[in-house]
Amino acid sequence: MIARDVPSLRQLRVFEAVARLESVSAAAREVNLSQPGVTQAIHALEKRVDAQLFERRRTGCYITNLGIVLLPRVQRLLQHLGSALAAVGGAASSDRQGMDATLNRITRPQLRSLIAVSENPSFDAAARSLRISEPSLHRAARELERELRRGLFQRTARGVTTTPMGSELARRCQVALREIEYGQEELQAVRGNIVSRIAIGNIPHSATQILSNAVKELLSKYPTARVQIVDGHYEDLLNDLRAGKLDILFGVLRRPDWAADVQEELLFANHYVVVARAGHPVCRMKRPNLRDLGRYDWIMPGPMTPRQHALRRLLGSRSGGPKVSVETTSLQIYRTILAATDQLTLMSRFEAQLNDASLVVLPFRSPHLRRSDGIATRVGWQPTKIHLQFIDLLKSEARRLGAGLKSQAA
């Protein structure tokens, strides 16, 4: 959802034009406003971001140091929106002049309405999320459709929601508008007030020690920064990353081929190990083999997860594959069931380190149990300095704890 304190698109478009042209009159002609209208928009934007963005002189209107901080984010927002509109197509994006005119006419309420409908099952639910009336939402949504000359909404059994085209446009608009949030955070940082929000998607069964230590270290340096950690299914976290709701995904690297707008970076190897209860029959074997492991039931997460893929690569060709009798993502349930039964499971080395004496790691290795952990971000993402420092802290923790894993494995 668009934050309520995001400036209007017209104000941002005016700001970019004045900064580039260094002239109120030239900017007025470009954005099709009167000179008083441009001046009023600049004053309104300066008041909203609490910063003087221009110095007015006889020879022109020149951007200040604070304006220089905000300008790249505004330019990125306009580039993102222009790209999103071009992907939608139609008369609105047939040429640069037409694109600029469309950007001038699109409003923040229209984008808020599009995004709200894309995130809710019906217009009624979307209107409640925005705290506006349904007729107001409907009017803004239809105005956007008319402006773009494209159908963005469709009726389903549950109500009216976005078409695939509308959903994709909403996603790309969210990414664009996140740039202004970054810009406002950077303005605050220049003043010495660190209010940056780092939104992290924590992929299930990640090495939470690394994440926790990095967050603790960041907040010790910047106590006023904000860290949001979201746990959930990988597919939901990936969608939130692609929509700009999250900045980083942390955990096992598993980007699907279709997510070409996401990039991954390896932090450390965190291979799987086979875990059983202490005293399990397999524990009495010096070197258990695949046939030995295939005799027992397994407790695993869902069938589309990297962990179960690894298990099926390991045992898939033996007697119809492994028997997974319990599926769960809860480590607590894993440990409770394992300690009381002869079931087996796969855990990452980091997870296995946290087990108590009731569970043991079996002396079994296989190339099928390789796993890589790291971070995923959006392609083209421009992090703030606080984001960069946090990523450096993650890397430092990964190197430190990853070295410990290597020494144990040796």
What are 349-361's pLDDT values in tens digits? Answer: 989 988 999 999 9
| Mean pLDDT of the region 6-14 | 89
Determine which helix (DSSP H) or strand (DSSP E) holds 374, and give its type and residue range.
strand 372-378
Question: What would the pLDDT profile of 386-399 be if each residue is shown by its tens digit?
Answer: 999 999 999 999 98
**pLDDT higher than 60, residue 94:** no
Tokens representing 212 are 């926790």
Q: How far apart are CA 78 and CA 74, in angstroms?
A: 6
pLDDT (average), residues 332-347: 94
Domains recognised in the chain with CATH numbers: 9-172 (1.10.10.10), 194-268+373-409 (3.40.190.10), 272-369 (3.40.190.10)
Written as one letter, the residue type at 180 is: I
For residue 106, is pLDDT > 90? Answer: no
* 352 in Cβ contact with 273 (< 8 Å): yes
Backbone φ and ψ for 344, nearest 5 degrees, come out as -120, 165
Closest CA to 377 of 178, 218, 224: 178
- For 54, the token pair is 């221009």
- Residue type at position 382: Q
Arithmetic mean of pLDDT, 89-102: 61
The C-alpha torsion from 56 through 61 and 66 to 70, rounded to 10°, is 150
SS3 (DSSP) at 35: helix
Q: For residue 2, is pLDDT > 60?
A: no
Q: Is the pLDDT assigned to residue 317 strictly greater than 70?
A: no
Question: CA 123, CA 171: separation in Å to the nearest integer?
Answer: 18
User: Which residue, among 59, 390, 392, 357, has the nearest Cα to 200 in the 3D structure?
Assistant: 390
